[in-house]
């Protein structure tokens, strides 16, 4: 069953091992973010992935920002040897 996080980002346990994907396609949010981080221009991504829309790239960036809004707690793990 596909769960939509936004209108463009979904999670489906049967696609890409449950990683966030774009509109049910086999393109992960992580893939797009890695390309952007590596300096790939938006126009090149849209050319390499013709089924991708500019709004999909925006949604990936917004998704990453939303993840950073979470509160994270680091717990020390003690060695039990």
> For residue range 27-60, what is the model confidence (pLDDT) as tens digits?
999 999 999 999 999 999 999 999 999 999 999 9
Query: In the prediction, which pLDDT does 44 show?
Result: 97
> Which token pair is 69?
């809004």
Task: Say how many domains are in the chain.
Answer: 1
Task: Tell me the chain's radius of gyration from C-alpha atoms.
Answer: 16
More confident residue, 20 or 79: 20
pLDDT at 15: 94
Domain extent for 30: 3-68
pLDDT at position 26: 94
Q: What's the burial of 74, exposed, middle or buried (CB within 10 Å: 0-12/13-18/19+)?
A: exposed
Task: Identify whether 51 is part of a domain.
Answer: yes
Q: What is the CATH number of the domain that holds 29?
A: 1.10.10.10
Top-confidence residue, 5 or 23: 23
| 3 state SS of 20 | coil
């Amino acid at each position: 069953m596909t769960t939509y996080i936004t209108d463009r980002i979904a999670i489906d346990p049967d696609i890409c091992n449950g990683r966030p994907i774009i509109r049910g396609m086999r393109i992960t949010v992580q893939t797009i973010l890695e390309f952007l981080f590596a300096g790939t221009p938006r126009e090149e991504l849209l050319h390499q992935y013709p089924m991708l829309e500019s709004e999909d790239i925006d949604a990936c960036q917004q998704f990453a920002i939303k993840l950073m809004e979470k509160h994270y707690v680091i717990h020390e793990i003690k060695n039990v040897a």
